[in-house]
Amino acid sequence: MSDVRLHVDQPLGPGQAVALSPDQAHYLVGVMRLGKGAPVVLFNGRDGEWRAVLTAAGKRGATATCEAMTRPLVLPPDLWLLFAPIKKARTDFIVEKAVELGVRRILPVQTRHTNSERVRQDRLQAHAVEAAEQCGATYVPEVADLTTLDRVLAAWPEGRRLYWCDETAAGRPVLLAPAEGPAAILIGPEGGFSGDEAAKLRARPDVVPLSLGPRILRADTAAVAAITLWQAACGDWR
């Protein structure tokens, strides 16, 4: 089977013809040197993963026709990642690794000390798609628009536990007990949470403060560490 996996936003099913985007056509024909009859793998985050064959192949346009499902849709655990955007390349890294490690939704949040006041949601979503293509996922997490932390918490869904990675807890034992149900992880900015933000979080009954070990981690490292801990204790790594 071809190693080329492409995410498409079209229905997939037996005999379904899928028109690929110009960028995808250029990649397959101009970069990978594939021609008519070559196998590709398609997924759309809804209908599972499908083996397909190129039935038309040009540098500006290509069509793939589905032959058979290779894997059903597999949803990641119901885990959200909330993080304060940092420098561009490191924010891209957080999104990429969140997809690889297995989260269902990614929410950039604006905090008092967030360094970046705007992010391009479309660019981050594209990074999520690329990460899913590379890691073999059949689902692409939504990357939400940047929203203030206060607004996110004001509309927080009942029953979703929020693991708050509290930098002031560095040095305490890392305790994450197995737990069922929807959850989320909150990673702060490089400057940490403000005093009033920390007080609001500590006052919430659905917030669980979480230590990430004896050292204060960079935001991108903290995101990887926290998701790994949760997956091992509560997620689909068990």
| Per-chain mean pLDDT for the chain | 94
Q: Residue 163 is which amino acid?
A: Y
| DSSP character string of 16-28 | -EEEEPHHHHIII
Range 46-63 average pLDDT: 93
Q: Is the dihedral of CA 218, 224, 226, 232 positive or negative?
A: negative
User: Is the domain defined by 79-234 classed in CATH 3.40.1280.10?
Assistant: yes
Residue 178 near residue 77, CB atoms below 8 Å: no
CATH superfamily membership of 5-71: Hypothetical PUA domain-like; domain 1 (2.40.240.20)
Residue spans in the chain of domains classed CATH 2.40.240.20: 5-71
The 10s digit of each residue's pLDDT in 186-235 is: 999 988 999 999 999 999 999 999 999 998 899 999 999 999 999 999 99
Which DSSP state fits 81? E
Query: What size, in residues, is the chain?
Result: 238
What is residue 17's predicted lDDT score, i.e. its pLDDT?
98
Residue 13: other Cβ atoms inside 10 A: 11
Range 98-103 average pLDDT: 98
What is residue 117's predicted lDDT score, i.e. its pLDDT?
67
Residue spans in the chain of domains classed CATH 3.40.1280.10: 79-234
